[in-house]
Structure 1
Amino acid sequence: MKKTIFIITLVFAITLFTFIVTSQMPGWLQFAACIGILVVYGNYLRRNLKNASGGFGFIMIRGTAGFNTMKKFAEKYPNLSKELCDFGLTIGFGILYSFYLFKLSKKFFIHALILIAMSGGLYYLALQNSTIDTTFAILFFLFGFFGSGAYLLGQSLVNIFTTPNAPPAIAPVIPGVTIPLYAILSIAVIAFVHEVAHGIMCAIYKIKVKSSGILLFGFIPVGAFVEPNEKEFEKKKIEEKRHVLIAGSASNLLFFFIFIPLWILPALSAPLFVNHLNLSLTANSTINRSFDDSTVYSINGVNVTSLNDVKINQNTITIQTDKGTVKTKLVDFKIDSVTNNDNKNILYKGEIVYDVEGIELTDTANLRNLLNSRKLLTVKANTSMGVKDVHVNADGKMGITFEETQPTIDFTEEGQWTWIANILRTIADFFSLTAILSLSLSLFNVLPIFITDGHKIVYDQLKEWFGSAGVKIAITISIILALILLVNLYPWFSKLF
């Protein structure tokens, strides 16, 4: 394929994809159209690129690029690479498996101290009412990513069946749909790191690598691969195979910690290039227009000079500006429809709900959690038309829908060097997303589900321990986790329709 034609078709596909993603079409149609574009473009690339294979939009582009670099790294840092893999096994499968592998060695105690520190941090966060709980921290210590990841899947599964309208805990990673479009580059980076690590360990253990390359879905990179000689791989000792398999997750975990300062330092540096904040009023704001473009001194009594200082956890805020003080709500929760017949003569379309049972609305999840926790037949709602007794149905719902909430105000940074702050925040956003995706891939890849390296590690280990019975156990675990994962994806897909 000529480069000019390739560039033209790529730009056209990305432009069309972006147009659909940013359109207002129904979710299911938007999703179907995006998948359709990726399938068509992927098949087009497969037919026109050399060394390409695949189907249904997925395309594997093979080559030999990077072989020499991986060999040189393997020759120079073999011990360091093995140590990283050993640590990856401890983090991946916990303190008990680490003890089995390393006994009461110096390595075990070092790993144990690090694991205790990480688990202790998670336990502390759980006690501070974080989104994780103490069970997660304990399972992470005992069974690593395997135990804590399986627990998260199980916990989410329980929520699906016990909590009405539970928000999706898991969603497919689709740039432009579930994550920003620039995540294409993030995925490419972490996939490259993951597969190069596999290649380095293959070189260390003298396993021939037949090819390496990238896996695309349409124009979106969804992975990379290193293709070892399977016969040579299977002949290796289980210790060596474990290292080759865990290398990808271990490297993704390592780069998670590398990405953190690349995320935090630009974010903390951005305010240095900002002089002050300005208050901007949106079209639906009820604030006197004279406050538009005024300089902000403080929000809720806290002095602010940049967006980094804006920390708002409530809907009603007080802003001190150079033109005076203004009190406003960030968003208005305006009723769009009333579906509960008991409330049709109580609540009305266009009415604004301020708080329920004295608790201010900050988002719809806040209201849902309130109703589920109180389990009342009626609640007091403070609205733009007064305080009302509102009925709650058997499902713990008021039977109302809100119009899409639009912010009433916005804050903009001002100063001669604000453009530098914007660049730094863009860098911070990229590395924060890349760090999160890198950690997520590290955790997911350890879970023993058929397509992961974790499955192969668990399969080989259980086979060594229990023979043919171990093989059956490994397959059973993979089937159960795969089914739980599919059920967890259902809430996200159901919201498309």
Structure 2
Amino acid sequence: LAFSLHEFAHGVISISKKVRVKSTGLLIAGVLPVGAFVENDEKKMEKIKKEWQNQILVAGITANFLLSLLFLPILLCMLNIPIEKYVIVAEPYNSTLTKGDIILKFGNFSINSISDLKNAEDYYSSKNISNIEIVVKNATTIFTKTIVTKFGAIGAYFIQEPKDKLFSFILSFVELSFILNFMLGATNLLPIPGFDGHKLLKNVLGKYSKILEYFTILLFIVNLLPFILL
């Protein structure tokens, strides 16, 4: 969505400025469309006035920033909605629990997340209480059983999953859409060859744009050095 919108915006403004779009298409990964591309007539692009060139270049960036701003209030609202989660046994270390069991309650603590379970375990460990009653849900029923813990821990590896998987999916989609659109817009503003920001800066600053271009590339190299030297 982010890449397609970016290229679509370039194409629309190009056509409005009488710059021929030589080709358009989709980027495919396997059988799934993952983006799009728009190829302008570069010779025609160079002949139009700088103001129009800048409008074409900034179109994709603007579209990405606008879409990220659209997703931002939706994301903030959704983040304020508490998501109830299940704590599920992924790998039992003994016969106390079975894979897929859901822990609803641990002693007097209701369990909605792994952090809830950890807090409950720490509490009973600090009180030196090892016999603890838990409420468990499996595929067929909800039952109560007393377990013997070691240092407050049940003895299993747990994962957590949202009770409302549809809401969780929508939240992940909104989060990813906001991040991708913002990052794509910001990245294309960089004054580095291959990005829209490089041509924009060249149109605005002329030969002086090289200074900022080299400085930006130098910053990238400096930031990459720790990873290269490790």
Same fold, TM-score > 0.5, yes or no: yes
Counterpart in the other structure of 1:317: 119
Letter in 1 for 2:92: A
1:413-439 Cα deviation digits (max 9, x unpaired): 6xxxx5xx2122123212312221111
Q: For the structure 1 residues 190 and 491, does the alpha-carbon distance in structure 2 shift closer, same or farther, using more than 3 Å as the test?
A: farther
Matched, 1:409 2:158: yes
Partner Cα separation in structure 2 for residue 486 and residue 219 of structure 1? 36
Letter in 1 for 2:181: S
Alignment length, in residue pairs? Answer: 205
In the TM superposition, what is the alpha-carbon distance from 1:253 to its structure 2 partner? 0.8
In the TM superposition, what is the alpha-carbon distance from 1:259 to its structure 2 partner? 2.9
Counterpart in the other structure of 1:235: 47
Counterpart in the other structure of 2:20: 208
Q: 5 Å matches for 1:320-335?
A: 321-322=134-135
Q: 5 Å matches for 1:350-429?
A: 408-412=157-161, 418=163, 421-429=164-172
- Give the secondary structure class of the aligned counterpart of 1:318: helix
1:437-466 Cα deviation digits (max 9, x unpaired): 111111110010111110111111112xxx
In the TM superposition, what is the alpha-carbon distance from 1:196 to its structure 2 partner? 0.8
- Give the secondary structure class of the aligned counterpart of 1:280: strand
Q: For the structure 1 residues 222 and 477, does the alpha-carbon distance in structure 2 shift closer, same or farther, using more than 3 Å as the test?
A: farther
Which is richer in strand?
A: 2
Residues 317, 328 of structure 1: 8 Å contact kept:
no
Partner Cα separation in structure 2 for residue 451 and residue 252 of structure 1? 18
Residues 264, 428 of structure 1: 8 Å contact kept:
no
Partner Cα separation in structure 1 for residue 158 and residue 169 of structure 2? 22
Counterpart in the other structure of 2:104: 295
Partner Cα separation in structure 2 for residue 410 and residue 223 of structure 1? 33
Q: TM-score w.r.t. structure 2 length?
A: 0.66
- Give the secondary structure class of the aligned counterpart of 1:282: strand
Letter in 1 for 2:186: L
Letter in 1 for 2:202: Y
Counterpart in the other structure of 2:200: 457
Q: For the structure 1 residues 460 and 269, does the alpha-carbon distance in structure 2 shift closer, same or farther, using more than 3 Å as the test?
A: same
1:118-149 Cα deviation digits (max 9, x unpaired): xxxxxxxxxxxxxxxxxxxxxxxxxxxxxxxx
Q: 5 Å matches for 1:93-132?
A: none
Counterpart in the other structure of 1:137: none
Residues 192, 198 of structure 2: 8 Å contact kept:
yes
Letter in 2 for 1:280: V
In the TM superposition, what is the alpha-carbon distance from 1:219 to its structure 2 partner? 7.4
1:282-322 Cα deviation digits (max 9, x unpaired): 3358xx936964313799x7x665xxxx484x995225954
In the TM superposition, what is the alpha-carbon distance from 1:256 to its structure 2 partner? 1.0
Letter in 2 for 1:410: I
- Percent identity over paired residues: 26
Counterpart in the other structure of 1:440: 183
- Give the secondary structure class of the aligned counterpart of 1:474: helix
Letter in 2 for 1:317: N
- Give the secondary structure class of the aligned counterpart of 2:24: strand
Select the residue among 239, 249, 253 that pairs with 2:65. 253
1:92-136 Cα deviation digits (max 9, x unpaired): xxxxxxxxxxxxxxxxxxxxxxxxxxxxxxxxxxxxxxxxxxxxx
Residues 11, 21 of structure 2: 8 Å contact kept:
yes
Partner Cα separation in structure 1 for residue 53 and residue 35 of structure 2? 21
Q: For the structure 1 residues 244 and 412, does the alpha-carbon distance in structure 2 shift closer, same or farther, using more than 3 Å as the test?
A: closer
Letter in 2 for 1:199: G
Q: 5 Å matches for 1:458-497?
A: 458-463=201-206, 471=207, 473-486=208-221, 488-489=223-224
- Give the secondary structure class of the aligned counterpart of 1:448: coil
Structure 2: gaps spanning 5 or more residues = 122-132, 136-143
Structure 1: gaps spanning 5 or more residues = 1-188, 331-406, 464-470
Letter in 2 for 1:229: D
Partner Cα separation in structure 2 for residue 445 and residue 410 of structure 1? 38
Residues 10, 56 of structure 2: 8 Å contact kept:
yes
Residues 215, 224 of structure 1: 8 Å contact kept:
yes
Q: TM-score w.r.t. structure 1 length?
A: 0.34
Counterpart in the other structure of 2:130: none
Q: 5 Å matches for 1:33-112?
A: none
Letter in 1 for 2:220: L
Residues 114, 159 of structure 2: 8 Å contact kept:
no
Q: For the structure 1 residues 245 and 422, does the alpha-carbon distance in structure 2 shift closer, same or farther, using more than 3 Å as the test?
A: same
1:341-394 Cα deviation digits (max 9, x unpaired): xxxxxxxxxxxxxxxxxxxxxxxxxxxxxxxxxxxxxxxxxxxxxxxxxxxxxx
